[in-house]
Structure 1
């Protein structure tokens, strides 16, 4: 699930201004809980556990606020096979949908659930939802391990900030370099990437404690060769050298 940000136009949104504080909070928490199509499980217990995992909220409070959002046209409530779901309206106009398939059925697959307040009100186009922009390459999967995949995507963004963006070939070679540095060890591979990000390096190198161990064992020159190789043959630093 991508990170999401809130547009500054929220401050002058009439739809948002019509909400109570709790209704507004629920709306924001639904934004970061929905799938890439703006849909989510409509069961109150699931909403409570996902949106308010650390707060002692009453189901009735959440249900009332949810129907208020529906009445204002900010959320569509519907049932499919007798199971409730919800859809944040105007989602596609403010989101970059990257997933190939939604986790939940679409509203057209079922029938709407009427709001107790005003089920005939038009849908609100609330311009506050936006995915944090990422390039196509950053949304790709690089590993079957979700943790490693997420950290590697962080590394790609880190390289962009250093003004050293990675080509497809550089990505391929960097993944091979990770496997050489820590064969089959996902935890170490993650730590190697995090080390480069934290240190502001563009390359990928052995963990600092492993380099220190080599020095203590008289393998300093092997360590230096590994460092140079990190710049020369991985593509991780492109072709300009340096960190």
Structure 2
């Protein structure tokens, strides 16, 4: 099998950034195991034996999950020929050289694509009216609307962290998280919130401990403001006292 080419632009790919470390490794191992046309047998047991021959404890459900994520992000395309599942890499000819005159696997057609459903490869109809094949991605994009820059990047990192712990957010939980973050932004800076999220991940905590933001710089009025408020209250009381005893202004 010829050597494969991986370009440095993969390091800044938005698509690759959406993958977990395991899914990214899965993708790279696919590249070096596909035939000269970027095709491969997509049965999970075959993928495990070809891509991870030394990972005896690797579960088939992890292989299936990674395969589905690559399909959702468009890194691979799944198809079926004579009731057998296959995959191909859609940008193969852009990055690799095709040397052999014939592929080891049948050619994909415009028939039914495949999806991994609860550990099984099954056919699924094409829905042309849905421009986004990944509902999870759309839910995330909708929830994060209005949040950008460093904070958005950190939140996406937090969601990947939760997914790797098998604690991925459901739509309602994700909306609640983003709502809480937006509330905190009215009091704390993005840098403070990002630092807290990093601390929570570093310590392996299941959730974001918002109480740790209490007492942070800028979270309470400064001493000058408090002193000024105290003086104004004192002057008002003196003024009221003079008016009650006929002192006037």
Q: TM-score, normalised by structure 2?
A: 0.46
Q: Which structure exhibits the higher relative contact order, with contacts defined as CA atoms closer than 8 Å and separated by 6 or more residues? A: 1
Quick check: which has more Rg, 1 or 2? 2
Q: TM-score, normalised by structure 1?
A: 0.47
